[in-house]
């Protein structure tokens, strides 16, 4: 038997197609984009590093599911667990549950008083825990945070509550970067900034005298009156061209003012906050899932109460009811417009906060947002 060796040129010719395939494959792989690690600074000034966009998130505040929903068509698919404290209002929860039935199976990792079960959180193997800036300032969270860090679980702090005008867009951009939704975050930032800048431009150009506003939070006929100092609703009032008189009497974020003191203060505007949670107390009921008639009737009953009925602001028709949960939700841009239109009707005759709210729902909410968010409606 004679063994014939093939000529080297013949061998190369037979292997040439395979060699070319290997070269092309190598070039293709080297040209494919490799996503670098995600590195951001959170609202507490901490570095947060992820190797890839988060896919299993634990929310420290359940109501921030609506924020996640602004950035993702199916936010529940990213949700590994959530703390029950500061959850969604009932109507919004039902809307999310109807569209995303998997929400019923999301694990709870803590209940009231900002408690967080570290064991339950670690067991879920999340790739990101999103907490509020209030958690960063809470002494009882120091140990849980150290335990999460020791377990190698990234934690990021966001804030839509304590300083909403300063921190809403940075927080949304942070979540967008950590979940691969930067473009959606920028879409909202453009929408938000455009509306806010228009208000500020008009107020700066005209410099109207700011009405003196009393903010009655969780408003009910009895137990008058919880109110707020700097932050949260105070910022909304200021952005709309008003002055929160709680700044003069409440040194911290919240405090109480007696009815006699309220009557003596004689505010130009009486601003009450409420929601579905106030029905049990006979207070102001409005917000998600609340029809206009219910909102109007509860507001009329509140302002007809002896004491409140004696306020000049009520008698002159300068009383307003608003949804309390605007205090932790970026849709507050529509609320600021509603307040500006009522504080300065001559300056903003064409402003349409209802249209702003409708656009927010259409572009940035995966679920319907039917309800009454302020009263009177116009």
Domains plus CATH for the chain?
Answer: 38-180 (3.40.50.1980), 209-375 (3.40.50.1980)
Average pLDDT over residues 139-143: 91
Name the percent of the chain lying above pLDDT 70.
90
Section 152-171 average pLDDT: 96
Question: Given a cut of 90, is residue 18 above it in pLDDT?
Answer: no
pLDDT for 113: 66
Q: What is the dihedral of CA 70, 76, 81, 84, to 10 degrees?
A: 60
The pLDDT, as a whole number, for residue 253 is 80
Contacts of 273 (CB under 8 A, 6+ apart): 215, 216, 217, 218, 219, 233, 284, 321, 322, 323, 324, 327
Residues 321-376: tens digit of each pLDDT: 999 999 999 999 999 999 999 999 999 999 999 999 999 999 999 999 999 999 99
Task: Answer with the residue of higher pLDDT: 4 or 35.
Answer: 35
**Which is higher by pLDDT, 153 or 9?**
153
Mean of all residue pLDDT scores within the chain = 90
| pLDDT value, residue 87 | 85
Among candidate residues 183, 116, 179, 200, the one with its CA nearest the CA of residue 151 = 116
Q: Is 225's pLDDT higher than 70?
A: yes
21 pLDDT more than 70: no
Using 50, 70 and 90 to split pLDDT, how confident is the model at 85? Answer: confident
**Which tens digits make up the pLDDT trace of 324-335?**
999 999 999 999
Please tell me the number of Cα atoms within 13 Å of 36 on its side-chain side. Answer: 2
Tell me what pLDDT residue 2 has. 40
pLDDT in tens, 263-279: 999 999 999 999 999 99
What does the DSSP assignment read for 253-321?
A: SEEE--HHHHHHH--SEEEEEE-GGGGGGT----EET--HHHHHHHHHHHHTSTTTTT-HHHHTT-EEE
Place 254 in a pLDDT band, splitting at 50, 70 and 90. confident
pLDDT band at 112 (very low <50, low <70, confident <90, very high): low
pLDDT the model gives residue 115: 81
Question: Can you give the pTM of this predicted structure?
Answer: 0.88
The pLDDT of 77-90, averaged and rounded, is 91
The single residue listed with the structure tokens 């409440």 is 250
Does the pLDDT value for residue 38 go beyond 50? yes
């Amino acid at each position: 038997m004679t063994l014939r060796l093939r000529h080297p040129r013949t061998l190369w010719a037979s292997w040439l197609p395979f060699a070319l395939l290997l070269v092309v494959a190598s070039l293709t792989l080297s040209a494919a984009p490799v996503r670098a690690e995600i590195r951001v600074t959170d609202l507490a000034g901490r570095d947060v590093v992820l190797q890839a966009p988060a896919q299993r998130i634990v929310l420290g505040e359940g109501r921030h599911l609506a924020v996640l929903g602004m950035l993702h068509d199916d936010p529940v698919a990213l949700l590994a667990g959530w703390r029950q404290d500061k959850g969604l209002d009932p109507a919004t929860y039902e809307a999310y549950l109807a569209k995303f039935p998997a929400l019923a199976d999301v694990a709870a990792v803590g209940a009231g008083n900002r408690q967080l079960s570290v064991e339950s959180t670690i067991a879920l193997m999340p790739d990101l825990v999103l907490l509020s800036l209030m958690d960063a300032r809470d002494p009882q969270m120091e140990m849980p945070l150290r335990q999460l860090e020791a377990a190698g679980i990234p934690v990021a702090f966001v804030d839509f509550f304590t300083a909403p005008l300063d921190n809403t867009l940075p927080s949304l951009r942070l979540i967008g970067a950590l979940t691969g939704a930067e473009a959606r975050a920028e879409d909202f930032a453009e929408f938000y900034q455009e509306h806010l800048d228009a208000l500020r431009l008009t107020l700066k150009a005209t410099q109207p005298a700011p009405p003196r506003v009393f903010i009655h939070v969780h408003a009910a006929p009895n137990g008058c009156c919880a109110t707020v100092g700097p932050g949260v609703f105070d910022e909304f009032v200021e952005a709309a061209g008003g002055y929160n008189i709680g700044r003069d009497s409440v040194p911290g974020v919240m405090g109480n003012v007696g009815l006699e003191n309220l009557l003596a203060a004689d505010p130009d505007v009486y601003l009450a906050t409420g929601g579905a949670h106030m029905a049990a107390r006979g207070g102001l009921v409005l917000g998600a899932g609340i029809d206009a008639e219910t909102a109007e009737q509860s507001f009329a009953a509140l302002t007809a109460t002896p004491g409140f009925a004696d306020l000049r602001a009520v008698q002159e028709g300068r009383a307003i009811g608003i949804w309390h949960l605007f205090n932790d939700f970026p849709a507050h841009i529509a609320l600021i417009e509603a307040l500006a239109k009522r504080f300065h009707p001559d300056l903003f005759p064409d402003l349409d906060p209802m249209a702003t709210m409708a656009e927010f729902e259409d572009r940035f909410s995966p679920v319907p947002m039917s309800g009454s968010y302020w009263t009177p409606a116009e």
